[in-house]
Amino acid sequence: MKVWIDGKVVDGAQAHVPVTDHGFLYGDGVFEGIRVAGRGVYRMEDHLRRLETSARAIGMELPGGVDAIREILLETLRAYDRDDAYVRLIVSRGEGALGVDPTTCPRPRVVCIVDAIRIFPPEKLCDGIELITSSLRRPGFDVLDPGVKSMNYLNNALAKLEARRRGADEALMLNGEGRVAEASVANVFCAREGALATPPSSDGALGGLTRKGVLELAAELDIPAEERSLVRVDLLAADEVFLTGSGAGIVPVKSLDGESIGAGRPGPLTLRILEAFPAYVQRVATSF
């Protein structure tokens, strides 16, 4: 692991954040998770723009702007010096006084972590994962805009914990109206009769960049795809379901709440997307 922190790249064991950093104390900050494959950063500029937007949404500026963050990202990747990696870019509110007041923090802190990541074991990626419907709901726009990738991930973490305690791999999260939002850390796609559907951001789904890639790739492959509201029954009635995320990639789903999805294994449409996705990643990646 390599980490850029306080102006330099260090090994992971040498990276430390003060206990008075408001990211640590209150989850006050924003982040991006970024895929790196074949020495290419997947949709780097899209990730940087989204990080900047998230920061602005919580009243914070990126130190040095997007250009400075880009250089930090590339410097850390070069120090890590491997073809494939996962990047976690974090911008916390920075050090401040005890108490939630953000105005006591004079300067945000940037941290860039580069390491390998494995969300699911290889056999799960081949056979499909098991989902449960979480008892927790995705917070509404009047609570926390899901388009802001904030460091406050307690809702997501508790949903994941619920899934693991119930013997499943991942949790399906519904919004306050009972529509599908996303999984705990991934977007959701379902396929029926050869067409794809994924929940819109208005239902609580993050506009994921792997999700965006799948929608673009579907158009290239002449697979009908749309954003539309889904409910739990739509997934149970689907021929195929898969998840998408920067860390996990494209993950087939074989069951929901103990009920098989389709044939209970990755379907032909999912396999087409999986096969074509690595080449797509290279086309839209920025070399370093």
Q: Which domains does the chain have, with CATH numbers?
A: 2-115 (3.30.470.10), 122-287 (3.20.10.10)
Using one digit for the tens of pLDDT, what is the confidence trace for 157-205?
999 999 999 999 999 999 999 999 999 999 999 999 999 999 999 999 9
Long-range residue pairs from 161-167, CB within 8 A, at least 24 positions apart, any chain: 162/132, 162/134, 162/135, 162/136, 163/131, 163/132, 163/134, 166/132, 167/130
Cα R_g (the chain), whole angstroms: 19
Q: Which of 2, 8, 149, 212 is catalytic?
A: 149
pLDDT category, 144, cuts 50, 70, 90?
Answer: confident
Using one digit for the tens of pLDDT, what is the confidence trace for 72-117?
999 999 999 999 999 999 999 999 999 999 999 999 999 999 999 9
Q: What is the distance between the alpha carbons of residues 50 and 42, in angstroms, rounded to a whole number?
A: 13
Whether 149 is catalytic is yes
